[in-house]
Amino acid sequence: MYFLNINKPKGITSFDVVRVLRKKLGIKQIGHSGTLDPLASGVMQVAVGNATKLLDYLDSDKEYIASIKFGYVSTTFDEEGEKTFVSKPDFNVDKLIETMNSFLGKTKQIPPKYSAIKVNGKKLCDIARKNPDNDIEIASREIEIYSIELIEFHNDFAKIKVFCKKGTYIRSLVNDIGQKLGCGAYMTDLIRTKAGNFMIEKADLLDSDNYSNLNPLDVLNLSKYELSNEEYGKIMNGNFIGNKGGFINSPILLTKDYKLVSVAILSDNLIKPKKTFKGE
């Protein structure tokens, strides 16, 4: 049971990454915490073995570097779609920064119709590809952007760094920035540079011969408690233990010899096992 920090190459799907890893590692139980589009590259949080049961506990705030082309819109909001000219960009760097900053904090965002979001059990991208003229009603949802930084800007091109909450579509953000500027915009490239505690500087290439196996205890931002022998026996038998650590929030990672034994919750000031892993 461990995690991998994989740098997904551009041009393949997130499922392709999982497929390659299953073949190379000889393990079927592999999952990831968030899809990256084929045209995007960068960090993927990959869980191997029983670590797949811990994906929901990962800190999944994301950081991206996005490249933007102004003056056009795209049906997919990125390089892949059909482009339509809107108008020649006519704004300065101060106006661009002001527009970018208007999206800071909690806002509502409509995801792109070419996405993996499901409507009535079908992926939006599948519906859109079968019938591009189908005006699917897509509900907006709350997102949160913590910071936006302008890295590069000249003529009709910009590069920005975005730190945001999981679930934010950078393609939609770029499209919305273009709309607000009145000239249109689409994303030409996207790199995920950070996801929780997983950073691109420490990511393994997919075609590496060896990967760095990450202990779940090193990547999960949760409280930890080392069990005594007596407490370990109780937890392994599904029993609760006292809250000797004085925890006030759960979940709590219960450990033995720095191996994960259980994800536990607090109830009536008692620590009760929710998922047990036998010290894997």
Read off the tokens for 171: 């393609």
Please report, in angstroms and rounded to a whole number, the separation of the first and last CA atoms in the chain: 6
Q: What is the DSSP string of 158-179?
A: EEEEEEE-TT--HHHHHHHHHH
Tell me which of 16, 37, 189, 218 is the catalytic residue. 37
Give me the long-range contacts of 275-278 (CB less than 8 A, separation at least 24): 275/53, 275/54, 276/235, 276/236, 276/238, 277/1, 277/50, 277/53, 278/236
Helix orientation angle between 170-181 and 93-101, rounded to the nearest 10 degrees: 130
Read off the tokens for 9: 């190459």
37 given a catalytic annotation: yes
Contact 277, 261 (CB under 8 A): yes
What is the set of active-site residues?
Answer: 37
